[in-house]
Structure 1
Amino acid sequence: MKAIGQGVAYGLAAAAVYGLLLFWPAGTFDYWQAWVFLAIYGIISVACCVYWGLTDPAVLQRRLRGGPKAETRFTQKLASTALITVFTSVFVISALDHRFGWSAPTAAISVLGEVVVTLGLSLGILAVVQNHYAAANITVEDEQPVISTGLYGLVRHPMYLSLLVTMVGLAPALGSYWGLAGAIVSVPILVVRILDEERLLTQQLAGYRDYTQRIRYRLVPGIW
């Protein structure tokens, strides 16, 4: 139960931070796109924490250990910091866009963006369901298996695919086109993170080299 409490508190704290990053630059609470996003994120985050806390607390603990400090490799510390910075910038830029009207996506586009964000978050959840060892930081545990079914049979890094999908939908969901720059900037950062992660996994995770020969694509099916 302690893990559930920690997870729920973390999710709510993250939602509060996202709210601050949205409503302060926007200069108003009259920002329905932000409220919808926060509701989606909050519901999914809390539901996952409760579910994993009740069914597999180890999964929840792995997901709570994230961020630059949790990384042991210098490249991963830099990549993690860069991704957090870019993710944060999407909130701020989108909120400023809402405030000053730099772009004006229709309500339908924003709703579509919310759907894409939900899809991205759902892909991340599914990836964790299919691979209980999927942690928020780069690590290899004793007796950790190589998962090659489900999403892992399509791409080697479905967690990063879920992040990319979420990033693509986030700015339109928040009523901005300018925020899409964050999704573009995140791609080379993800490439660096993935290539460094694969060097570690090839060295430390038994069977991973064979897995890379069977599953061709790293991030996006048919592209890379």
Structure 2
Amino acid sequence: MTGCGCDVEARSNSTPSRSARLAVLGICVVLTGVLFVLARQLDWTRGWIYVGLLTSQALVNLVCVALWNPVVLRRRGSFAALRGVKIWDILWSVLTVLGAVAVYVVFAGDLGTPAGGVGPPGLVWLIGATIFVSGWILFTWSMIANPFFEKTVRIQREHGHRVIDSGTYAYVRHPGYVGFNAMCLSTPVLLGSVWTALPIAIMVLLIVIRTVLEDRMLHAELPGYAEYATKVRFRLIPRVW
């Protein structure tokens, strides 16, 4: 369900709001603090690069969406986005937050093992970083293309919710989730923590479950989605699923 974000409303403001900028800054500061408190050290190359990647992703995403589809920022920051949210999506959000917390808890424990987070970034790390950046680009591109890209799953009737089949959505039906999964899957490699792969796998599974439930909801409630699904057959992975 993607759109080109080129309407009058989307063009009306191409500057990130102060609240959006502060939110991104706050998240980056808190994440940095938590990560290095858990690591119990500041002299940690992988950690600083990881924080740099996350911060860059957040800032570039904010600027790009503000320039090309600012309506998404306003809608995602509005309490109106909670209207009509599915109960299962609220539960999903809670489980996802717990999964993210589990990643850093497991990471903290893994640092205490002989292989936890050791060694400078090498070829494997570079592959992980490439996956992260690719996911970041896909996620941001999907947000730019889709004026209905909200944090919650619902039919946005007040905004004239419609099926969009351009941009990334011409290839798979839920490209934003593909990008998010790629960023998640790169985390164990970027942090140098093998055991974080366990909570990351759970988070990826949660994304797959949300994809299934959201796709069913869109088939049932969004006019034209069933026809779109016959043209773009795959949810997340072309020629696979």
Shorter chain as denominator, the TM-score bin is: 0.7 to 0.9
Residue 100 of structure 1 aligns to a residue whose secondary structure is coil
Of stretches 87-96 and 119-128 in structure 1, the one that deviates more from structure 2 is 87-96
Amino acid at match of 2:177: Y
Gaps of 5+ in 1: none
Gaps of 5+ in 2: 1-12
Amino acid at match of 2:56: I
Corresponding residue number in structure 2 for 1:213: 230
Corresponding residue number in structure 2 for 1:117: 132
Q: How many residues align?
A: 223
Corresponding residue number in structure 2 for 1:137: 152
Q: In the alignment, is the contact (CA less than 8 A) between 1:26 and 1:98 conserved in 2?
A: yes
Residues 80 and 115 of structure 1: CA distance in aligned 2, closer, same or farther (over 3 Å): same
Of stretches 130-139 and 68-77 in structure 1, the one that deviates more from structure 2 is 68-77
Amino acid at match of 2:150: A
Q: CA deviation at 1:148?
A: 1.8
TM-score, normalised with respect to structure 2: 0.81
Aligned counterparts of 1:61 and 1:82: Cα–Cα separation in 2:
25
Corresponding residue number in structure 2 for 1:85: 98
Q: In the alignment, is the contact (CA less than 8 A) between 2:65 and 2:140 conserved in 1?
A: no
Residues 16 and 118 of structure 1: CA distance in aligned 2, closer, same or farther (over 3 Å): same
Pair 1:47 & 2:64 matched: no
Structure having the larger proportion of residues in helix: 1
Corresponding residue number in structure 1 for 2:173: 156
Q: In the alignment, is the contact (CA less than 8 A) between 2:65 and 2:144 conserved in 1?
A: no
The alignment's C-alpha RMSD in Å is 2.6
Aligned counterparts of 1:35 and 1:65: Cα–Cα separation in 2:
32
Whose Rg is larger? Answer: 2
Please list the CA deviations of residues 160-212 of structure 1 after superposition, one character each: whole Å capped at 9, or x if unmatched: 11111111101111111111112321233123212221232123321111112
Percent identical: 23
Of stretches 81-90 and 119-128 in structure 1, the one that deviates more from structure 2 is 81-90
Corresponding residue number in structure 1 for 2:190: 173
Q: In the alignment, is the contact (CA less than 8 A) between 2:184 and 2:204 conserved in 1?
A: no
Q: In the alignment, is the contact (CA less than 8 A) between 2:64 and 2:144 conserved in 1?
A: no
Q: In the alignment, is the contact (CA less than 8 A) between 1:112 and 1:173 conserved in 2?
A: no
Of stretches 11-20 and 44-53 in structure 1, the one that deviates more from structure 2 is 44-53
Q: CA deviation at 1:18?
A: 1.8
